[in-house]
Structure 1
Amino acid sequence: MCSAHRSRAQGTRVRVKILLDAQAVFWWYSDPAKISKRAVSMIEDGENTILVSAATAWELAIKTAIGTLDALSLVIDLPRYLAEEGFEELPVSVSQATRAGLLPLHHRDPFDRLLAAQAQDLSIPVLSNDRLFDLYDVKRLW
């Protein structure tokens, strides 16, 4: 776990809200070396607000339940882990869910489509290595 990494920087920098995708959350928890140095720097910057969607929690739980992801300890302790890391939970609104359902089918993954809809709705970037986010009107960081 990387809870020691996030710290408040000194100065008068602009706070940026960043939405992590499920892969970024999983790697931050299990193997931060898989995350780009630029992305790690953005997550570690205590001036940034790091958001984790309820859709990401759902995705991690489903993939763990069906055996495609080995993340049971993360899933069980996700609320505590997010709090320890200083990450904020992002609920899913009805308008965001509707927007996700109406997005073009560039990305077949419903979880990532919901993250794209949330990023569009809130005008915030998604931190992800998945280039399919680039096909939507969202800024992708990695």
Structure 2
Amino acid sequence: MMRLLLDTHIYLWSVSNDPKMPKKFRRDIEDATHVYVSTASIWELSIKSARGRLDPNGERAIDELEQKPFIVLPVQFKHARAVRDMPDLHRDPFDRLLVAQARTEVLRFLTVDSELSEYFDAAVPA
């Protein structure tokens, strides 16, 4: 049973069929039993949109999430609290929250950001 959490850019590439999406990730998404997109990703995209830094694919990704075959993963207290116990490997608060969600919910995190993969190599706090 494969359960995935998509990083924000992977979600965008998925809904826009962007050629930057690794073929392996496309297969993983198709083969997964559950594919999650965090409300933190929509929050991040909404901020970029408000600042005029989002293309039409990004705008569509915000508006159409609930119509896509993804499960919306809300940010919960346990996710926000888990960020506190993470090593300081990455500065982006959205990325840190997504990693905390993936670790807390035991989801495979799809990202091309090599810095984020270090979180999964680090010991998970007890």
TM, length-normalised to structure 2 = 0.85
TM, length-normalised to structure 1 = 0.76
The match for 2:72 among 85, 89, 92 is: 89
Secondary structure of residue in 1 paired with 2:5: strand
Q: Percent of aligned pairs with the same residue? A: 38
From the two aligned structures, give the one with the greater helix fraction: 2
Stretches of 4+ aligned residues off by more than 6 angstroms? none
Which residue pairs with 2:113 in the alignment?
A: 130
Render the CA deviation track for 1:49-100: whole Å, top value 9, x for unaligned: 100011111011111111232222332x2xxx33433110001111110111
RMSD: 1.9
- Ranges in structure 1 where 5+ consecutive residues have no aligned partner: 1-14
C-alpha spacing 1:104/1:67, structure 2 compared with 1 (3 Å): farther
- Ranges in structure 2 where 5+ consecutive residues have no aligned partner: 122-126
User: RCO greater where, 1 or 2, for CA within 8 Å and sep 6 or more?
Assistant: 2
- The answer on 1:68 being equivalent to 2:53 is yes
Which residue pairs with 1:9 in the alignment?
A: none
**Alignment size in residue pairs:** 120
Q: C-alpha separation between the residues in 1 aligned to 2:53 and 2:101?
A: 25
In the TM superposition, 1:107-122 aligns within 5 A as: 107-122=90-105
- The answer on 1:23 being equivalent to 2:6 is no
Instruction: Look up the equivalent residue of 1:55 and give its one-letter code.
Output: A
C-alpha spacing 1:123/1:74, structure 2 compared with 1 (3 Å): closer
In the TM superposition, 1:32-51 aligns within 5 A as: 32-45=18-31, 47-51=32-36
Secondary structure of residue in 2 paired with 1:32: coil
- The answer on 1:101 being equivalent to 2:84 is yes
- Displacement of 1:103: 1.9
Deviates more, 1:115-124 or 1:82-91: 82-91
Q: C-alpha separation between the residues in 1 aligned to 2:37 and 2:69?
A: 11
